[in-house]
Structure 1
Amino acid sequence: MLSSPPLSLYIHLPWCVAKCPYCDFNSHALKGELPEERYVDALLADLEVDLPRVWGRPVVSVFLGGGTPSLFSGVAIDRLLAGVRARLQLAPNAEITMEANPGTVEHDRFEAYRAAGVNRISLGVQTFDSDKLKILGRIHSGAEAEKAIEAVKAAGFERFNLDLMWALPEQSVEQAVDDVERALGFGPRHLSHYQLTLEPNTVFAKHPPPLPDEDSMIAMQEACAERLDRAGLHAYEISAWAEPGQESIHNLNYWRFGDYLGIGAGAHAKLTLPAEERIIRTRRKSHPRPYLKALEDGSFVAEEKSISESELAFEYFLNRFRLDEPVPLAEFEDRTGLHSGALADRMGRALELGLVEATDPAFERSTVLQRTERGQRYLNDLQALFL
């Protein structure tokens, strides 16, 4: 039987100064004046669409992503978060994260964001190498990235994340490790460490830059992981490192197949409806223009569908096995409404291949699975077993 998991809120702010050549997110280069007041109006009206489905459920985390949310003023973010609090029950000490990019933030804005209720910043550094930043299409330099980190700390943010990318065009192992070293010098308690991949429908996909070879990429990954381990950060997720207790609540809820409302242009949501015995996904209108026009009639939702039983197991394990933690089959049953026994053959195959360990090979509700080191190395193969 389905039960309601923890609930988060994702808010999409879609504008950027310029579209990066590797980016496949729903982001749009800003042309003209930022319509921040009208967009906040639309976000709050959009939020009311799904309120009846989540009424009374506490929200454990809020994430303002983009795009570049730091293009919005402190006044706009304050009005937005005040509107969210007026409509939703935020849990005590709810994590409220905002993405920001060096080069788009006047440094005193961090104080304004903190006063508005943001208690965690995720800063898109990517690399401290100014030449590499130019290749990536970023508008900041390495020095500006360092100034932005100092500004985040000076504003009083004890919790902040630094985004780094590796396997950059013509990057050496030493350069990748140097980025990690420079990031660690600022004492982050959370660090995202992503491999640059060439996504379809991006400039880099059409005009691929010279990337490091596979051996170099493996060496980079291992060298950077060793350095992060020595710094006391652990890889709790494939691309996320944190001190114990400093993991992102929002990220954890996503990977544990929790629920999340999604508002803003192109935002996705996943909601469990126990009374209707189904789980739904929704998607908002993608482009800012039709999304803002929907303010006239409330037609923000572009698509809504129930997740079929055949998709549920795959979606659950696709997310869950990204985390380096035990997977209770009781949680699987509660969050999908499926019986774990129906997947015994697939779990048995994963056990036989050494991709997981299990407390009980009978795979009863009380069984706990654990992804092995081999399972992490061959994560795609492990996830594919549940297709």
Structure 2
Amino acid sequence: MTAAALASPLSHAEPEALQSLPPLSLYIHIPWCVKKCPYCDFNSHEIRGGRDNLPEAEYVAALTRDLETALPSIWGRRVASVFFGGGTPSVFSARSIEALLAAARMLLPLEPGAEVTLEANPGTFEAKKFADFRSAGVNRLSIGIQSFDSRHLRALGRVHDGNEARRAVDIALDNFDNVNLDLMYALPHQTLEDARRDVGAAASHGVAHISAYHLTLEPNTLFYRQPPPLPDDDTAAQMQATVEQALHQHGYLNYEVSAFARPGRESRHNMNYWLFGDYLGIGAGAHSKISLADRIVRQVRFRQPRQYLARALDASPQATPIMAQHEVDGTDRGFEFMMNALRLTRGFEAKIFTARTGLQLESLVSQLDEAQRRGLITRDGEHIAPTPLGRRFLNDLLQIFLPEQQE
């Protein structure tokens, strides 16, 4: 990083009041899984003693109460998308998902045709349950396939095999026209040909959206403590290139680092997140970003399900499911915006930066100059986008925008 970048005026930027609030999404976290995968660092908890011990009705009541208490911070705003994440939301019944959507519609105005996504894993549903999810109001399904190869699924600790993965996709497409498949590559003992077969199998189903992630060893996971044998960096890079090329040949647009979509089928929920939109997160460990005219606030709910349930259902005035909250200052707003928006292949319009952060783009001029000089972005007066080099070395690009105090 150059001295010019370090001397940026970003740290002295004072945001102005927002002239309008960004789009708002609702995120609902369901933290339970049939089995905790050894690579997963999300806030997910294995169901102990089987599904009969799942506090489903109690959790639905807690989520509804959480949403009610959050209303003052988002009053009158319309919700553009709803996302049920986890964990494995499909361990819940369609009846519970329907109850939560009914509560959301009663308390918040949902935009007509709002995108409603549910994450699901093969092995946690059957054909009727998929149909019931659709009837409940879900209109987009995201399936955690990870691989179609039973060997790799066993290595990842998944509860389904390759045949169940294929069956899940077929059932999903019988009920939904908007389906995402999550894939992973650079898996234990995976070869380049294995990765090619996986992405080919995913593309052959003709789904609207495919997400392809490089397996990483995250702290606080079993794989981090006991690393499995993984492909070397060169092979992993070849796998990434193979995935991108194969999906391009099948008509998918690589519109974000790990996201590929048919034209017009990009995830609206995730696009709002990447463009520094607002989201209210309810549920154990859920995060929120809420903009008000004079400030932007981040919140996080209590992480442990039992503690979250106790806090959310406590009717006393001082009780809250919010564990921590802080305001996002001008320095962090600029970095956080860039950290997300520069993941998008097409980049962003310059006017969105000011509208979402309250900052003028001139506050980042030295960083932008540095990024452009190094060939990591293209920019004119109206638009900024990462170059292919910038997408390949995204961490290097984002480092340019790090606030001074984080150097």
Among candidates 345, 356, 362, match of residue 366 of structure 2: 345
Cα distance in 2, alignment partners of residues 345 and 186 from structure 1? 46
Cα RMSD (Å) of the superposition? 1.0
1:326: Cα distance to partner? 3.5
1:374: Cα distance to partner? 1.2
Contact 2:344 2:385 in 1 (8 A): no
1:181: Cα distance to partner? 1.0
Pair 1:313-2:334 in alignment: yes
Contact 2:28 2:283 in 1 (8 A): yes
Matched with 1:383 is 398
Contact 2:123 2:164 in 1 (8 A): yes
Pair 1:262-2:281 in alignment: yes
Pair 1:213-2:228 in alignment: no
Pair 1:19-2:43 in alignment: no
Pair 1:290-2:307 in alignment: yes
Matched with 1:372 is 387
Matched with 1:325 is 346
Q: Which runs of 4+ in 1 moved over 3 A?
A: none
Pair 1:278-2:284 in alignment: no
Sequence identity, in percent? Answer: 50
Q: 1:314-341 CA deviation, whole Å, 9 max, x = no partner?
A: 1000000000113222111111111211
Among candidates 215, 235, 245, match of residue 226 of structure 1: 245
Matched with 1:29 is 46
Contact 2:182 2:210 in 1 (8 A): yes
Matched with 1:39 is 59
Q: Gaps (5+ residues) in structure 1?
A: 361-366
Cα distance in 1, alignment partners of residues 347 and 201 from structure 2? 32
* TM-score normalised over the length of structure 2: 0.91
Among candidates 342, 356, 360, match of residue 377 of structure 2: 356
Contact 2:24 2:79 in 1 (8 A): yes
Q: Secondary structure at the match of 1:108?
A: helix
1:77: Cα distance to partner? 0.9
Q: Secondary structure at the match of 2:123?
A: coil
Q: 1:213-238 CA deviation, whole Å, 9 max, x = no partner?
A: 11111111111211100000011000
Matched with 1:175 is 194
- Residues 122-133 of structure 1 mapped to structure 2, 5 A cutoff: 122-133=142-153
Matched with 2:4 is none
Cα distance in 1, alignment partners of residues 348 and 248 from structure 2? 23
Matched with 1:195 is 214
Cα distance in 2, alignment partners of residues 220 and 378 from structure 1? 16
Q: Gaps (5+ residues) in structure 2?
A: 1-16, 403-407
Amino acid at match of 2:342: F
1:107: Cα distance to partner? 2.3
1:293: Cα distance to partner? 0.8
Q: Secondary structure at the match of 1:279?
A: strand
Contact 2:30 2:86 in 1 (8 A): yes
Q: Secondary structure at the match of 2:43?
A: coil
Q: 1:62-105 CA deviation, whole Å, 9 max, x = no partner?
A: 00000010000111111111111101110000000000000111
Q: 1:28-72 CA deviation, whole Å, 9 max, x = no partner?
A: 001141111110000010011221121121111000000010000
* TM-score normalised over the length of structure 1: 0.96
Matched with 2:182 is 163
1:151: Cα distance to partner? 1.1
Contact 2:378 2:385 in 1 (8 A): yes
Identify the range of structure 1 (369-378 vs 244-253) with the bigger mean alpha-carbon deviation: 369-378
Cα distance in 2, alignment partners of residues 127 and 77 from structure 1? 27
Cα distance in 2, alignment partners of residues 152 and 357 from structure 1? 40
Amino acid at match of 1:188: V
Amino acid at match of 2:373: E
1:106: Cα distance to partner? 2.4
Cα distance in 1, alignment partners of residues 328 and 320 from structure 2? 22
Q: Which has the higher contact order (CA 8 A, sep 6+)?
A: 2
Cα distance in 1, alignment partners of residues 126 and 245 from structure 2? 35
Q: 1:115-141 CA deviation, whole Å, 9 max, x = no partner?
A: 110000000000011111111010000
- Residues 100-139 of structure 1 mapped to structure 2, 5 A cutoff: 100-139=120-159
Cα distance in 1, alignment partners of residues 105 and 83 from structure 2? 14
Amino acid at match of 1:236: Y
Cα distance in 2, alignment partners of residues 178 and 314 from structure 1? 38
Cα distance in 1, alignment partners of residues 238 and 249 from structure 2? 17
Pair 1:87-2:102 in alignment: no
Amino acid at match of 1:268: H
Amino acid at match of 2:314: E
Q: 1:156-195 CA deviation, whole Å, 9 max, x = no partner?
A: 2000000000000010010001001111121111000000
Aligned pairs, how many? 378
Matched with 1:363 is none
Contact 2:36 2:45 in 1 (8 A): yes
